[in-house]
Amino acid sequence: MADRCIGIILNGATSGIVHRQHLVHVLEPILREGGLPLSDGSRVVPDILMVGRDETKLQQVGEKFGLKNWTTDLDAAIANPDYTIFFDASVTAGREDRLKKAISAGKHIYTEKPIANSLEEARAVLKAAEDAGVCHGVMCDKIFLPGLLKLKRLLDSDFFGRVVSAKLEFGWWIFDGHGETGQRPSWNYRKKDGGGLVLDMFPHWSYILNHLFGGVENIYCQIATEIPERVDEDGNVYAVDVEDTANGLLTLSGGVPAQLLTSWATRVRRDDVLSIQVDGTEGSAFATAHGCWTQSLEDTPLPRLDTVNGQTMNLFETWDEAPDAEPFQHSFRYGWELYLRHVMEDGPFPFGLEQGVKAIQLVDAAYRSAEERRAIDI
């Protein structure tokens, strides 16, 4: 079978997420391997057109990854008929307009989250894609992390019995730039640029909770700005006008209570930056990005609060690590392979833009809850 080429517009090609994830772990390896195998024995080979605002940076990225096609003219890229997929990884602000412009040009859509800044905008993007009949999808990479794959298998196998609670904890300390350089771009902390921890991170929690537990019924959320002043990439001090901490009490499908702890102003004293614990009547599991540990009802110890000597039991040793069940594949590549096969051979793809709408529903509910200081049904 002859190779089949597909043109991909990579908007935001010089951003950190594209450089560290989409190029390094997905598109460059697929090119190096001679394309992605399809069911008919052929291979789909990406033809990448990088789009960005800085010519020098585009040239540098192109030289690093062996990519020759790049432009700073987004409109011209979208108008180019040789490129049928539009992938957006530029700043959140303006994403709705970029996606709708690409859809109106007949492009298939794959995008980073969030798909828009508001629920009304997100629904408009989904409707435009459905009316145009294009293939559409949003990145849901975290569910393909090895630890979460193991956790999903445990849920599907009824290991837990009746699930009684869940807790998702995420975050680390983001330096403010006065001494150490901040690890996140300054636009993350400006509302006009689409910043804010809830808008940035809750779309991840939305598809994770939908995938693992079937969704969220309601949320009570508190938000705060713990670091009110930061230094941007040019050394300028600016005021932070969005939240950097958000904690929520949720009710998952079926009435399961859950905690959602998210912060860019916390120091990590746990197994990983991301952790999820699920407790059930027959057992519990604790998952990180790559690991998963279980404790059955039969193996549950009886620790006691010793006010004199402190805890004498090593509680970590009472958990068993779940084995790997499949070879490791990068989580971003899982999604890309599913999407490319969806476009090329109509393969299944359960992560369409409707997942992006659900994400903004959770974001909207979280912000409303914080403002109105009450639980919001979703």
pLDDT score recorded for residue 326: 81
Q: Other C-beta atoms within 10 Å of 242: how many?
A: 19
Strand ranges of the sheet holding 163-171, from the earlier edge strand across to the other edge: 320-321, 292-296, 283-288, 274-280, 163-171, 256-263, 245-252, 216-224, 376-377
Closest by alpha carbon to 316, among 333, 291, 340, 336?
Answer: 291
CA distance 336 to 347: 12
pLDDT score recorded for residue 327: 86
What residues contact residue 179 under an 8 Å CB cut-off, 6+ apart?
A: none
CA distance 128 to 103: 7
Report the length, in residues, of the chain.
378
- Across 126-149, average pLDDT: 97
CA distance 374 to 154: 33
pLDDT of residue 196 exceeding 70: yes
pLDDT score recorded for residue 2: 74
- Across 66-79, average pLDDT: 97
For residue 256, what is the enclosing H or E element? Answer: strand 256-263
Instruction: Please check whether the domain covering 4-141+330-349 is classified as CATH 3.40.50.720.
Output: yes
pLDDT of residue 290 exceeding 90: yes
**DSSP for residue 175:** -
CA distance 5 to 263: 42
pLDDT above 70 coverage of the chain, percent? 100
3-state secondary structure of 272: coil
pLDDT of residue 1 exceeding 70: no
The residue extents of the domains of the chain are: 4-141+330-349, 142-327+360-377
Write out the CATH class of domain 142-327+360-377: alpha beta
Burial of 362 from C-beta contacts in 10 A (0-12 / 13-18 / 19+):
buried
Q: Kindly report the average pLDDT of the chain as a whole number.
A: 96
pLDDT score recorded for residue 12: 96
Residue 35: phi and psi, rounded to 5, are: 110, 170
pLDDT of residue 352 exceeding 80: yes
pLDDT of residue 156 exceeding 90: yes
Closest by alpha carbon to 358, among 256, 241, 253, 246?
Answer: 253
Distances (CA, A) of 74 to 8, 28, 87, 184, 305: 13, 22, 12, 25, 61
**DSSP for residue 268:** -
- Across 174-188, average pLDDT: 93
Distances (CA, A) of 335 to 144, 147, 338: 8, 16, 5
pLDDT score recorded for residue 328: 87
For residue 48, what is the enclosing H or E element? Answer: strand 43-51
Do 85 and 106 contact (CB within 8 A), yes or no?
A: no
Query: Is 0.85 topped by the overall pTM?
Result: yes
pLDDT score recorded for residue 307: 92
